[in-house]
Amino acid sequence: MKHTETKVTIAVDAMGGDHGASVVIPSLVRVSQHYTEGFFILYGDEAQIEAQLSEHPSLRSITRVEHCEMAIPMDMKPARALRVGRRVSSMWQAIEAVKAGQAQACLSAGNTGALMAMSKIILRTHAGIERPPIAGLWPTLEGESVVLDVGATIGGTASQYVQFAVMGVAYAKIVLGLDNPRVALLNIGIEDIKGTDSIKHAAELLSSSNLNFIGFIEADAIGRGEADVVVTDGFTGNVAVKAAEGTSRQISAILKISMERSLMARLGFFLARGAFTTLRGKMNPNASNGGMLLGLRGSVIKSHGGVDAEGFAIAAEVAIEVAKADIASVIERDIEAMQTLLDEAWAEEVEG
């Protein structure tokens, strides 16, 4: 995505994730070194945030702290989070800032279910969208692909898969700079007879659309970059992401152990250190951190809960870029253009 100089304000749930302000504040230091257009409103426990800010005085001019009475625990069920965290939690108030026009995007590493539930209530979804998916960027041999959903939904209907495809294409056009992204449905095989009824029905609907639908792909094809937008449900997408991240860490650990086994192995590592540095960067899960909740009337970015400052900084940069591009408005326009297809998909399911 092209980096342009447009001032934006990001509302940050500074207490979200496994580490809260101790990761959020150092990450913003990293971001400020590359982005001069960002201003951050930090929502959370004022004492904890101020303690971290005292160690990074350079952030004073680009941050404002808003005290909140509570933070949503990572293991709290969404229904309870809505009951106890409404209006008083750092997560709620950060999302509310987007609705009020005080910020152009919200960023949180907090409880995914709570973030989704609160975002739907506060911001609402665009007409024709049933469930907002989380769109993530997946590193491939060709560059990057958009994968959605990566954690917001369990299961899906044909109409929801079509909705995901429409939103994923709009997102890929902006984030990846593609004119006509290739769309595929993640399946257990590429044959037409394989998959659930909803997946097969979604394929029929997408085949009759004006999207660049290329059919089914299997999970191993994602990393090869065979599609630009990969559509699936949140359960399958999240499992795929976690499996890929675990595999990358496993390979890194195996390489490290192998390099320490002998003098010749260490010498080989020294001679090929440039290639290994490139490999490490490609396999770093932090490099693709920051997924957007699509279909909302406002921009909400979800960071992994357990990332370090480097990883959260990448999610913050995603938040700045989507805010500058006003992606939520672009997606709304593209959804309206595809409304006939979405209505057809929904009507067929109701009749069925």
Residue 346 lies in a domain: no
Q: Using one digit for the tens of pLDDT, what is the confidence trace for 190-208?
A: 898 888 899 999 999 899 8
Amino acid, res. 154:
I
Domain match, 165 and 54 both: no
Residue 301 lies in a domain: yes
Final residue of a structural domain among 265, 288, 311: 288
What average pLDDT does the chain have? 85
- Per-residue CA distances from 184 to 129, 148, 149, 212 (Å): 19, 11, 13, 9
Domain match, 137 and 282 both: yes
Residue 347 lies in a domain: no
The pLDDT assigned to 221 comes to 92
Domain match, 182 and 35 both: no
- Per-residue CA distances from 244 to 17, 45, 206, 220, 249 (Å): 21, 35, 27, 10, 9
Residue 300 has pLDDT above 50, yes or no: yes
Residue 318 lies in a domain: yes
Q: What is the mean pLDDT of residues 260-282?
A: 58
CA-based nearest residue to 228, from 239, 243, 213, 218: 213
Residue 129 has pLDDT above 90, yes or no: no
Q: Which domain holds residue 264?
A: 132-288
Residue 47 has pLDDT above 90, yes or no: yes
Final residue of a structural domain among 270, 288, 306: 288
Domain match, 138 and 252 both: yes
Number of folded domains in the chain?
2
Domain match, 147 and 251 both: yes
Domain match, 110 and 250 both: no
Domain match, 170 and 70 both: no
Q: What is the mean pLDDT of residues 41-47?
A: 96
CA-based nearest residue to 86, from 125, 113, 45, 122: 122
The pLDDT assigned to 305 comes to 86
Residue 252 lies in a domain: yes
Omega within 30 of 0 (cis) for the link into 220: no
Domain match, 162 and 251 both: yes
The pLDDT assigned to 33 comes to 86
d(C-alpha 69, C-alpha 79), whole Å:
19
Q: Using one digit for the tens of pLDDT, what is the confidence trace for 152-203?
A: 888 888 889 998 998 999 889 888 889 999 999 999 998 988 888 999 999 9
Domain match, 112 and 258 both: no
Residue 195 lies in a domain: yes
Domain match, 151 and 213 both: yes
Backbone angles phi and psi of 183, in degrees to 5: -115, 135
Residue 259 has pLDDT above 50, yes or no: yes
Residue 155 lies in a domain: yes
CATH number at residue 320: 3.40.718.10
Q: Using one digit for the tens of pLDDT, what is the confidence trace for 50-101?
A: 999 999 988 988 999 999 999 999 999 999 999 999 999 999 999 999 999 9
The pLDDT assigned to 238 comes to 84
List of E strands, 8-72: 8-13, 38-44, 63-67
The pLDDT assigned to 1 comes to 44
Residue 277 has pLDDT above 60, yes or no: no
The pLDDT assigned to 301 comes to 94
Residue 190 lies in a domain: yes
**Share above pLDDT 70 across residues of the chain, in percent, rounded to a whole number:** 85
Residue 212 has pLDDT above 60, yes or no: yes
Domain match, 142 and 80 both: no
Final residue of a structural domain among 288, 313, 334: 288
Domain match, 2 and 102 both: yes
The pLDDT assigned to 156 comes to 84
Residue 280 has pLDDT above 70, yes or no: no
Residue 281 has pLDDT above 60, yes or no: no
